[in-house]
């Protein structure tokens, strides 16, 4: 645990901020008496993204290994023209 004075907090805050970012807990003193304690905010756990659907697996399940006569672009174009 590091100790900084109120003066350091006022005039050299980047140093104090760097200590907090590195995970240090800081005691703040005034006239050599501890008046406060700063603790870094706990890092949030990384929110995992949901897995993407397996489109290729779905296509293989529906169509197998056969090649389609029309391309995906043609299917989309026909679908858009039908609206």
Q: Give the pLDDT score at 78.
A: 81
Residue of 44, 45, 27 lying closest to 36 (CA atoms) = 27
List the CATH number of the domain containing 12: 3.40.1620
Does 47 fall in a domain?
A: no
pLDDT interval class at 33 (50, 70, 90):
very high
With a cut of 80, say whether residue 67 has pLDDT above it.
Answer: no
Does 33 fall in a domain?
A: yes
Q: How many C-beta neighbours within 10 Å does residue 59 have?
A: 12
Does 51 fall in a domain?
A: no
Q: Give the pLDDT score at 29.
A: 95
Mean pLDDT of 70-82: 79
With a cut of 60, say whether residue 18 has pLDDT above it.
Answer: yes
**How many domains would you assign to the chain?**
1
List C-alpha distances in Å: 42 to 4, 26, 49, 59: 21, 14, 21, 44
Does 6 fall in a domain?
A: yes
């Amino acid at each position: 645990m590091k100790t900084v004075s109120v003066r350091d907090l006022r005039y050299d805050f980047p140093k104090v901020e760097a200590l907090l970012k590195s995970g240090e807990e800081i005691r703040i003193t005034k006239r050599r008496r501890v008046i406060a304690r700063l603790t870094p905010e706990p890092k949030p756990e990384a929110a995992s993204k949901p897995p993407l659907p397996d489109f290729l697996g779905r296509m293989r399940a529906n169509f197998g290994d056969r090649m389609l006569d029309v391309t995906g672009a043609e299917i989309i174009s026909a679908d858009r023209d039908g609206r």
